[in-house]
Chain A
Amino acid sequence: MSATESMPQAPSAPATRAPAVLELRKLAVEYRLGDRVARAVDGVDLEIAVGEIVGLAGESGCGKSTIANAVMQILRPPAYIAGGSIVFQGEELNGKTDEELRRYRWRNVSMVFQSAMNSLNPVMRVGDQFVDMMQAHERVSKRHALANAGNLLELVGIDPRRVRSYPHQLSGGMRQRVIIAMALALKPELVILDEPTTALDVVVQREILQQFRQLKQELGFSVLFITHDLSLLLSLADRVAIMYAGELVETAAAAELAASPLHPYTQGLLRSFPPLHGPLTRLTGIPGTPPDLANPPAGCRFHPRCPDCVRDELQLYVRQTTERPVLREIEPGHRVACHLVTGDES
């Protein structure tokens, strides 16, 4: 790993690639749990280009929401950034003042949480909550903010007159749309969606995502989409990163990942979805449970659950269980961290 770090940063992206709005470099986030330390995010490199939808998938507790909170700069003790950097539009966030970060949040990067629909104030009209949020960041009159709120609601398919409604008068799907409208209010460059539709049923989910993608095309923001539902990401994202136990284990264009997943964990995730068409076979999913991040297994963190990690080839087995695999580019744009996958360059 140290070898790659000391190498000068080559312009790895081809010239056609849009400039990055967000770059994570060797990001590490830790949680202090009494006398133990759990590394929830361990050396993550991730780039999001302008206008790109990047999906981040993995099981509960793999650290994907922690990445979102780190990017949003809303980590609270016992969590803290233990290393690496977050670069937004070329600027390092580390070292910014609280006031600078306050302006950065929501104006540059906004976030929709999983249970965001429950975060609306129940005793305040929807419109007034827009006014509150906008006046916290910009000097606008109430009348102007309310008119803007109406326009935003219309964008996400809600009658603008609903600014006069209270949250309890809206369905769960509508409240989630309100939150998405709020996240777009200050025209941020990056929107983070953390399981935005997990609490909703499939019909509403599709409507919201369809609308959201249309808005993305019109407004041109970038998206970090976090979910454990890989099937959803593959149909929505441009590029997908698979996370396991605090590390990225595979990243590729969505179509490439769906067609030829290389990491056994990605393959396992894809095998966890029963198909809606075609032949039906008994699926196995992924046996076992994710490791304790305060005490992760040596070598490849997935090896205790990996169906391809067997003792038959002793030399390989020793490598799998003692040496941490590094994320390597196997094909242009397709990176994998697995000892079993041999690329051309090795």
Chain B
Amino acid sequence: MSATLEIRGLTKRFPLGGGDRHAYVNAADDVSFELRPGTITALVGESGSGKTTVARLIARLHDPTEGTVLFEGADVSGGLRGKGLLRYRSQVQMIFQDPFGSLNPVKTIRHHLARPLQIHRIVPRAQVEERVHELLRTVGLVPPEQIAAKYPYELSGGQRQRVAIARALAVEPKVVLADEPTSMLDVSIRIGILNLMLKLKEERELALLYVTHDLASARYVADEMLVMFAGQIVERGPTEEVLQNPLHPYTRLLLASVPDPAEGLDLQHVERRPADHVVTAEATGCRFVARCPLAIERCRQEPPALLEARPHQSARCHVTAPEPWHASA
């Protein structure tokens, strides 16, 4: 199936400040991937890896320094302003981490859902109320008549996040970017939001980007997985392949860090690294080298490229993905 959204070489540099006009941090560096209809793509990595920056670049909340975003084949990355940008934003919606900060405390739930319907002229005025109820039912908030009349403070965190999802769906988008939508919710509530994402994917053929640091939840919902480290995608492939047979040492580190009730958190085998360690932008070679147990001399000198070391599975590593699989076959 053709991609709804195609991201090519997306790069964002933020100035570091401090008087040096040439000091930058590479929040996103040459990031390329596609989002397809009816597919959930997980973007995973630790804090500061640049995953939120990528989502915000796609939503056009930041302008990219370099690279292009193609929406249904049309370039939407630069120069898109006014009506064109409004139309794009109605097609690509974002859900944020904090359901407490993303709703207006003095407005009812009805207001939050009716406004996008009116601004983007989704339905005639007479049908707005009916559509609001329909949206609330879709995200499992019933009875909709009662919920619509409530204020955000009257709802739990999980219910608020459902309202945020309903609001994103109001404009009938083709792409939804969900940035850590469950990380501020109770564990018992999270699974409900994940199930809702699966339902939306199946029923609405949405192209979903799920940004998270929780690998187990990514495995639960995602078809494809992108692993990000220090602004770069270091591994990508079908979720199950990446998680059961990871290529990149960073993916392996992330996997080892997940507490698994069945197996227990491996607290014995832990990489020792100074807590002060920072990845500098000027570093030559592989960005993961200082934390990598497999590092060889080449890693210090030459940055690895993202290579398809197994069919459909790529990694950026001199040791585990030295060449494309068809070259070695």
Contacts and interface: CB of A to CB of B under 8 A. Distances in A.
Interface of A: 59-60, 156-159, 162, 171-174, 177, 200-207, 209-210, 213, 228-232, 234-236, 258, 268-278, 280, 282-286, 289
A60 B216 CA distance: 21
B203 interface: no
Contact of A285 (B188, B216, B262): B188
A174 B275 contact: yes
Interface stretch (B32-40, B263-271, B298-306): B263-271
B262 A275 contact: yes
B262 A277 contact: yes
Contacts of A274: 191, 194, 216-217, 219-220
A272 B190 CA distance: 8
A206 B188 contact: no
B261 A231 contact: yes
B244 interface: yes
Contacts of B186: 59-60, 228
Given A235-B267, A236-B265, A286 B188 contact: yes
A201 B188 contact: no
B188 A268 contact: yes
A290 to B, nearest CB: 9
Given A273-B216, A274-B219, A235 B265 contact: yes
B157 interface: yes
A89 B198 CA distance: 51
Interface in B187-209: 187-192, 194-195, 198
Contact of B261 (A156, A173, A234): A234
Interface stretch (B5-13, B100-108, B252-260): B252-260
B156 interface: yes
B213 interface: yes
Contact of A272 (B188, B198, B215, B254): B188
Contact of B187 (A157, A172, A229, A289): A229
B130 interface: no
A204 B46 contact: yes
A172 B259 CA distance: 20
Contacts of A289: 156, 158
B319 interface: no
Contacts of A280: 219-220
B17 interface: no
B19 interface: no
A213 B267 contact: yes
Given A60-B157, A202-B213, A269-B187, A230 B192 contact: no
11 contacts: A202-B215, A202-B259, A203-B254, A203-B257, A235-B259, A236-B259, A236-B267, A276-B216, A276-B258, A277-B260, A282-B198
B191 A207 contact: no
Given A270-B261, A285-B189, 5 more contacts: A174-B276, A202-B213, A203-B46, A228-B188, A272-B190
B270 A210 contact: yes
A274 B197 CA distance: 14
Nearest to A236: B265
Interface in B235-290: 243-244, 253-265, 267, 270, 273-276
B257 A277 contact: no
Contacts of A206: 256-257, 265, 267, 270
Contacts of B213: 201-202
A286 B220 CA distance: 17
A159 B276 contact: yes
B47 interface: yes
Nearest to B220: A274
Contact of B254 (A172, A202, A271): A202
Contacts of A162: 276
Contacts of A285: 188-192, 195
Q: Ordered nearest first, which 10 A-B pairs have the shortest CB separation?
A: A235-B265, A274-B220, A285-B191, A206-B257, A235-B264, A202-B257, A201-B213, A231-B259, A231-B261, A232-B259
B196 to A, nearest CB: 11
A276 B243 contact: yes
Nearest to B269: A210
Contacts of A234: 259, 261, 264
B214 interface: yes
Given A172-B47, A177-B275, A206-B265, A277 B191 contact: no
